[in-house]
Chain A
Amino acid sequence: MAGLACVSQSPLLQAFGAVGGTAASPGFRFVDVTSSVGIQFQHNSGAFGGKFLPETMGSGCAFLDYDRDGWQDILLVNGMDWPGHKQRRSTLRLYRNNGNGTFTDVTSRAGLDIEMYGMGVAVGDYDNDGFPDILITCVGQNRLFHNTGKGTFVDVTNSSGLGKRQAFSTSALWFDYDRDGLLDLFVCNYVKWSPEQDVFCSLDGKHKSYCTPEAYRGETCWLFHNRGNGTFEDVTASSGIFDSSSKSLGVAMLDDDQDGWLDLLVANDTQPNKLYRNQRNGTFKDAAVEVGLAFSTEGKARAGMGVDVGDFTNSGRSGVAITNFDNEMTGLYEFGGKTYEDIAAQAGVGMASKNSLGFGCVFFDANLDGWLDLAVANGHIDETVRNIRGNVGYAQPPLLFLNNGQGKFRDVATELGGGFEQPKVGRGLAYGDFDRDGDLDLLLTTNNGAAHLYRNDQLAGNLSIRFRLVGTKSNRDGIGATVRIVSGGLSQSRMVKSGSSYLSQSELPITFGLEKRDRVERVVVTWSSGRTEEFTNLAAGRCYECTEGKGIVPLDGF
């Protein structure tokens, strides 16, 4: 990678890349390095022919720095064989980044070699000890693993108060909704399902197929308040989150009303999406209908899967992306003053995603031009869909929409190489700079298939700047903090987020693309505690560690 970095700095390539960039070339390429870096992962959906609903829904992935060595590690969630159909053992996989472009499977060493029907993952340092902890959402009992700081994890599910709960949980996130400096936990649940409650659904009247969520009753999401003593209190009911009709798959945090208190956007499958506005008193109020995020523009509750939030207009206000079923188009919502407007069709995202069933989705600046782009993992839930809908396949190519900064997005997936455009039964999607070259790499999981790590190689010579936030009064991960930068007349903002996408979590450090700008004139950090800090005149091309109340320190490289 160092070699590649050197090559990418050559003036000739920079000039070539610059020309390519202006000539609508993406300005970067992907290289599938999954095998070469040592990741050998095969998702086990447990499918044995029973067509149990969870089989086709998983699973997720995450970038996390579990050992705090500054290199992003990878966690891949896995399912397992169903009881009574046990053939092999399968567990999640934790891959430690060796810092030299390779990974080592440390699952067993970390104590995570535990079988469970895992779906999603949320990473957050809930006890502020400096080491990220892991929540694995499951079909059945979710698992909370506490990071000991010594390269191992301890299952604290029961002792933390999260035990004795059976559900079909999906995405989850850590956030500090009451601004007490402790990360609280939000968990999405899909439907009331268990092998015993499985319903027979069929497309041809004879053979069993995967049911759509209409066949099952909804399940409320859960909100757990962090008491600060290693235990959690279920505040689902008292916070107003409780909703037995929800069929939730994705969740993202945002500050919708910009009051400094984190709100939540939940993507529901065949049910209205929910925007839980933080009432600043421990309760939430759903405002999705009011702001126009609950339904499609036709007033239909779509099959919301993944969700992400990002300031893709560089206006200081976050927009929203929600992936949906095929023929429903991905929703791309822009904030229009009081309500959100779905601009997917006019922005070029609508028609391009019409024949795709989207799951994971992330806003990230793929080409480091200063504008958030959008990547979407696609894949149908039914392997026989081609027989019914000729233009829709089971495996579907991912999409990567480049933002031109003028309200238009263009899918460049086929131009990126590395086999990125090959059809896959995509599910989880996360980004992270695993090689510390300043650009964002993609991690994509497939259902009952392999995971893919796509290394991002910049071709246009664009620069970036990264920030790693450490909270003191706020939660230690800085989750919920917003960073705004001004560089060369361009303003950008990002939030340190847990959750988003589908069953997945991207890295916590935040990355700003600067195109050819080599300095950032102004950086404003607004912590979740409410504290605001400002820094000026930072050089691009490196990562900075910003500790709440203690200033900013440049790190060695990214």
Chain B
Amino acid sequence: MTRPGQPLYPRGVSRQSSPERSPTPGLLLGLVITLAAVVAYSAYITWQVAGLRKLQSELIDRNRKDSLQLLRIQNDLNLLAVAMRDMIDNDEPYPLTAWSAQFQRIRTDLDDAMRLEAGLAPAGRTTEQSASLSTSLAQFWDAVDRVFALAGSGREKDARAQIQLSLQARQAALSTTVARFLVQNSENEEQAAQRIIQIYDRVQRQVYVFLAATLGAILLTGFSMIRWNRRLFARMAELSERRSELAQKLIATQESTLRYISRELHDEFGQILTAMGAMLGRAGAHAPEGSSLRTDLHEVRQVAQDTLDRVRSLSQALHPVMLDEAGLESTLDWYIPTVERQTGITISYEKDGTPFAVDSGAAVQIYRVLQEALNNVARHSGAKQAWVRLHFLSSELELEVEDHGGGFNGQPVKQGIGLVAMRERSELMGGRIIFSIPSEGGTLLRLTAPREKIEVLDAETNPNDKKDHGIAGR
């Protein structure tokens, strides 16, 4: 029962929460920032990779291909050098002109290599350098032609002298030029490698920045989420607590009201009707024997007695006074046969364990749960038999109500008023209520309440209980 001046809500729980701001805009903003960072970074990386590719294709690849052609030219020049050495050695049984086909093969390959090399020459090479190579080569072949012409005319000795004097020197000069180009290419490659390292360094730095920014965004979003979640859970817990408190207040108010009405009916109307009965009895005794007055008074007294019985029944139904006066155990002993009579259901009632006195406040909750459970059996299960078991355990009191009726028929338990009330009543005692399906089908309700919360430790009973005893006196 709510006392005047007692706050409806416990301290610390705000009675009315102010409208909270939605986290969605903040989260969306975080998402947009993250996406923008990813897009910006991707664009940056693409730009850098494009630069790298350009550098590789335009400089390094081209340089490498050019070097390959230069190596090919160098190889051809070496072959010419070896051939010229063989020609000078003069240890073959063939005239010098025999080498012309060999020279021609080399020349064909050299011309092809020169053509390809010219198309691949790096930008750093000057026109003079390129022209110098092709001019020197042309002069070399011109000299070769003159040597073979000399040899062809039978002047092999002069031809060999020309090879030593002119061809070998020209070949050496050409080889030096090609070697210089190769060194130049190597230097270009080193420079390109440096530039590539710089690009990689830049990209690496940007990766770190991007990672930091992304981590920051993720952390901000995460913290924001955590904050909003905590608020949400606190709000939910508050609402749940408020609802539970409200339900418990309602139950308490209901019980208090019912107890009050029951007591009023029992005490006030019971005494009045009892007094009326007594007075009518006395009045009837004064009326002449066999008179109509005596008969009428007797009938009125009978009506008063019936009314008294009905008032007492109603009072008992609203709040069994026995709970206050005789305790839970006795009340159930009385109540279960009553239900059997009223509903026609056979109820097997068992008790075990060492009984202990149950606080009247808890007893009424247990009684109400049993009442609701048996009511459900009668109204919904279709069962003709039920079992009620009361276990006094060392640490808790357990009440089981079982039927083998229709049960929940596989349907999820609908949280009706009755079920909600039963759960709230169990929580009022610090206990719990569990619904399950027995192996035979139907429903098994198991209410458990901790002994420490429901047991009466003090032998002295509540002053209200004294008052209840008065009601119970019939």
Contact = CB atoms under 8 A, between A and B. Distances in A.
Given A217-B82, A220-B92, A237-B97, A245 B102 contact: yes
B102 to A, nearest CB: 5
Contacts of A241: 101
Instruction: Give the dominant DSSP class at A's interface.
Output: loop
Interface string A222-262: 00000000000010111011111100000000000000000
B159 to A, nearest CB: 15
A289 interface: yes
B109 A242 contact: no
B98 A242 contact: yes
Nearest to A220: B92
Given A240-B101, A286-B105, A245 B83 contact: yes
Contact of A217 (B86, B93, B101): B86
Interface in B87-121: 92-95, 97-99, 101-102, 105, 109
Contacts of B95: 237
Given A217-B86, A237-B95, A244 B102 contact: yes
B79 interface: yes
B115 to A, nearest CB: 14
Nearest to B86: A244
Contacts of B93: 165, 234
A225 to B, nearest CB: 15
Contacts of B97: 237
Contacts of B102: 242-245
B98 to A, nearest CB: 3
B92 A245 contact: no
A236 B102 CA distance: 12
Contacts of A242: 94, 98-99, 101-102
A237 B98 contact: yes
Interface string B299-328: 000000000000000000000000000000
Contacts of B83: 244-245
A245 B106 CA distance: 11
B94 A245 contact: no
Contacts of B105: 243, 286
A242 B109 CA distance: 17
A237 B86 contact: no
Nearest to B87: A244
B109 to A, nearest CB: 7
A165 B92 CA distance: 10
A135 B102 CA distance: 27
Interface in A192-218: 217
B105 to A, nearest CB: 5
30 contacts: A165-B93, A220-B92, A220-B94, A220-B98, A234-B93, A236-B94, A236-B98, A237-B97, A237-B98, A238-B98, A240-B101, A241-B101, A242-B98, A242-B99, A242-B101, A242-B102, A243-B101, A243-B102, A243-B105, A244-B83, A244-B86, A244-B92, A244-B99, A244-B102, A245-B79, A245-B82, A245-B83, A245-B102, A286-B105, A289-B109
A271 to B, nearest CB: 10
A237 B101 CA distance: 8
Contacts of A289: 109
Contacts of A286: 105
Nearest to B102: A243
Contacts of B79: 245
Complex A-B, nearest 9 residue pairs according to Cβ-Cβ distance, in ascending order: A237-B98, A240-B101, A242-B98, A237-B94, A244-B86, A243-B102, A286-B105, A242-B101, A245-B79
Contacts of B86: 217, 244
Interface residues of B, number: 15
Interface string B70-83: 00000000010011
A552 to B, nearest CB: 42
Contacts of B92: 220, 244
A220 B87 CA distance: 13
Nearest to A218: B82
A236 B95 CA distance: 11
Nearest to A243: B102
A241 B101 CA distance: 8
Nearest to B68: A299
Contacts of A243: 101-102, 105
B460 to A, nearest CB: 100
Interface in A265-312: 286, 289
Given A237-B98, A242-B99, 16 more contacts: A220-B92, A234-B93, A236-B98, A237-B94, A237-B97, A240-B101, A242-B101, A242-B102, A243-B105, A244-B82, A244-B83, A244-B86, A244-B92, A244-B99, A245-B83, A286-B105
A62 B93 CA distance: 30
A242 B96 CA distance: 11
Contacts of B99: 242, 244
A128 B298 CA distance: 166
A238 B152 CA distance: 12
Contacts of B98: 220, 236-238, 242
Interface in A290-340: none
Nearest to A237: B98
A241 B105 CA distance: 11
Nearest to A286: B105
Nearest to A283: B101
A491 B109 CA distance: 39
B472 to A, nearest CB: 103
Interface string A50-80: 0000000000000000000000000000000
Contacts of B101: 240-243
Contacts of A165: 93
B296 to A, nearest CB: 124
Nearest to A284: B101
Nearest to B104: A240
A288 to B, nearest CB: 10
A220 B86 CA distance: 11
Chain B CB within 10 A, most for which of A220, A240, A244:
A244
Interface in B115-160: none
Contacts of A244: 82-83, 86, 92, 99, 102
Interface string A90-131: 000000000000000000000000000000000000000000
A278 to B, nearest CB: 14
Nearest to B83: A244
Nearest to A219: B92
Nearest to B78: A245
Nearest to B97: A237
Nearest to B96: A237
Interface in B30-81: 79
A200 B95 CA distance: 32
Contacts of A240: 101
A125 B124 CA distance: 64
A286 B109 CA distance: 11
A238 B109 CA distance: 21
B227 to A, nearest CB: 63
A354 to B, nearest CB: 25
Contacts of A236: 94, 98
Nearest to B112: A289
A238 B79 CA distance: 21
A248 to B, nearest CB: 14
Interface string B221-233: 0000000000000
Nearest to B109: A289
B291 to A, nearest CB: 131
Nearest to B101: A240
Contacts of A234: 93
A438 to B, nearest CB: 45
Contacts of A245: 79, 82-83, 102
A217 B79 CA distance: 11
Nearest to B79: A245
B117 to A, nearest CB: 15
A243 B101 CA distance: 8
B40 to A, nearest CB: 43
B168 to A, nearest CB: 16
A245 B92 CA distance: 13
Nearest to A240: B101
A275 B190 CA distance: 40
